[in-house]
Amino acid sequence: MPKSKPTMRDVAQAADVSATTVWMVVHNKPGIPAETIEKVQAAIERLSYVARSEPNGTKAETVGLLIEQSSIPAISDVFYGDVIRGFQAEAKLFGYHVLLSTFDRNSQDLGLLKTGFAQNVAGFVIANDGDILPETVMQLKILNRPVVLIESYIEGQTLPCVLGDNFMAGYKIARYMLEQGHQKIAILKGPTKYSSLVDRFRGCLAAMAEVNLLPPVEWMPEPVSGHPLKGYVQMKEILALPDHPTAVIAISDKTAFGAIEAIREAGLRIPDDIAIGSIDNTRESGYTRPPLTTVHIPKYEIGVLALRKLHRLIEGTETIPVKSIVYSELIVRESC
Domain of residue 103 covers: 62-164+300-331
The predicted-structure confidence for 91-123, as pLDDT tens digits, reads as follows 988 888 898 887 776 655 555 455 456 667 888
**By CB neighbour count within 10 A (0-12 exposed, 13-18 middle, 19+ buried), where does 297 fall?**
buried
Asked whether residue 22 falls in the same domain as residue 104, the answer is: no
Asked whether residue 159 falls in the same domain as residue 68, the answer is: yes
Identify the segments of the chain with pLDDT beneath 70.
1-4, 51-60, 69-78, 105-119
**pLDDT for the residue 106:** 65
Asked whether residue 280 falls in the same domain as residue 260, the answer is: yes
**pLDDT for the residue 70:** 60
- Assign residue 144 a region: left if phi > 0, alpha if psi is -120 to 50, beta otherwise? left
**pLDDT for the residue 59:** 45
**pLDDT for the residue 87:** 92
The answer to whether position 273 is within a domain reads yes
Asked whether residue 149 falls in the same domain as residue 82, the answer is: yes
Asked whether residue 113 falls in the same domain as residue 145, the answer is: yes
> CA-to-CA distance for 292 and 90, rounded, in angstroms?
30
164 has which bridge partners?
A: 326
**pLDDT for the residue 289:** 93
The answer to whether position 3 is within a domain reads no
Asked whether residue 114 falls in the same domain as residue 91, the answer is: yes
Asked whether residue 291 falls in the same domain as residue 186, the answer is: yes
Asked whether residue 87 falls in the same domain as residue 156, the answer is: yes
Asked whether residue 38 falls in the same domain as residue 113, the answer is: no
Asked whether residue 283 falls in the same domain as residue 313, the answer is: no
Q: What's the Cα-to-Cα distance from 156 to each of 127, 134, 152, 159, 323, rounded to whole Å? A: 19, 11, 13, 9, 13
The answer to whether position 22 is within a domain reads yes
Q: What is the CATH number of the domain that holds 213?
A: 3.40.50.2300
The predicted-structure confidence for 258-310, as pLDDT tens digits, reads as follows 999 999 999 999 999 999 999 999 999 999 999 999 999 999 999 999 999 99
Closest CA to 190 of 167, 221, 151: 221
> CA-to-CA distance for 241 and 286, rounded, in angstroms?
30
The tally of domains found in the chain comes to 3
Asked whether residue 147 falls in the same domain as residue 261, the answer is: no
**pLDDT for the residue 60:** 56
> CA-to-CA distance for 176 and 194, rounded, in angstroms?
24
Closest CA to 219 of 200, 192, 245, 201: 245
**pLDDT for the residue 55:** 45
The answer to whether position 262 is within a domain reads yes
**pLDDT for the residue 79:** 72
- Assign residue 324 a region: left if phi > 0, alpha if psi is -120 to 50, beta otherwise? beta
